[in-house]
């Protein structure tokens, strides 16, 4: 038993327990969960084992994934049941399940978010030129496929990039304001304060849409349809700024 305890503990610590086999080289039998529970007495090691089992299960299920909140969230999401507009029930983060970008990016398409990652080996590459993302691609605009067009696109890009950055910063302001108001422990039920919280939530979503509208507008070449999009974006920005 001491030998098995040391062997299994090491495998769990190294995150290799899910597919581990009997230490005898000729034996391919895998230890069962019941057997591991009977051998391991440390609650900390058992907790790591259960996390490894859960992680392995999620990775094996094509319709399951982890919440992509970059701040960290251990919630499991059902891809088939969570479309655009729905959010993680734990942290309210809205994920995109079609690409490696960490959040839903409507109205920008997944192809606009050019940094792709292989789901099997985590290799990062640019979808435009198919070259590794690191170290040459600090961002999309370092792509060699676009170097020849960089000069005449530079000013247009800078304009859209400035607008996009502004909306992301304004979104962070709304998030921070909502958090500050919500953290007041003895907040009186004053309608104006409740309105601020609800208004900030609306601002967060509006600024997010406006930021990714800049990405969408930058890439879209259909002049006729863009006239309508730009008009709608301008109206949304006007009302958002007023709010």
- Whether residue 117 lies inside any domain: the answer is no
Residues 147 and 47 in one domain: no
Q: What is the pTM of this model?
A: 0.45
pLDDT tens digits for range 153-164: 676 787 788 888
- Whether residue 111 lies inside any domain: the answer is no
Looking at residue 83, its pLDDT comes to 46
Looking at residue 186, its pLDDT comes to 63
Number of separate domains in the chain: 2
Give the mean pLDDT of 137-166: 66
pLDDT tens digits for range 70-112: 777 888 887 764 445 457 888 888 877 776 677 777 777 666 6
Residues 28 and 133 in one domain: no
**Is residue 190 very low, low, confident or very high in pLDDT (cuts 50, 70, 90)?**
low
Contact residues for 126 (Cβ-Cβ < 8 A; gap 6+): 114, 115, 116, 132, 133, 137, 140, 143, 145
Range of the domain at 27: 1-60
Residues 230 and 137 in one domain: yes
């Amino acid at each position: 038993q001491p030998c098995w305890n040391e062997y299994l503990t090491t495998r769990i610590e190294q995150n290799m327990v899910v597919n581990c086999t009997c230490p005898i080289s000729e034996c391919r039998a895998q230890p069962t969960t019941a057997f591991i529970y009977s051998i391991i007495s440390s609650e900390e090691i058992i907790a790591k084992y259960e996390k490894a089992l859960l992680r392995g299960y999620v990775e094996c299920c094509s319709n399951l994934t982890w919440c992509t909140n970059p701040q960290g969230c251990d919630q499991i999401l059902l891809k088939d049941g969570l479309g655009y507009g729905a959010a993680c029930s734990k942290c309210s983060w809205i994920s995109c399940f079609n690409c490696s970008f960490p959040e839903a990016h409507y109205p920008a398409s997944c192809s606009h978010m050019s940094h792709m990652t292989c789901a099997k080996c985590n290799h990062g590459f640019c979808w435009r030129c198919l070259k590794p993302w690191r170290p040459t691609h600090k961002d999309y605009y370092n792509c060699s496929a676009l170097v020849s067009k960089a000069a005449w696109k530079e000013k247009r890009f800078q304009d859209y990039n400035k607008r996009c950055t502004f909306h992301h910063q304004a979104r962070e302001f709304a998030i921070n304001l909502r958090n500050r108001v919500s953290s007041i422990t003895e907040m009186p039920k004053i309608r104006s304060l409740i309105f601020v919280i609800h208004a900030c939530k609306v601002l967060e979503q509006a600024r997010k849409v406006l930021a990714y509208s800049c990405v969408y507008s930058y890439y879209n070449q259909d002049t006729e349809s863009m006239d309508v999009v730009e008009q709608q974006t301008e109206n949304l920005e006007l009302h958002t700024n007023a709010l």
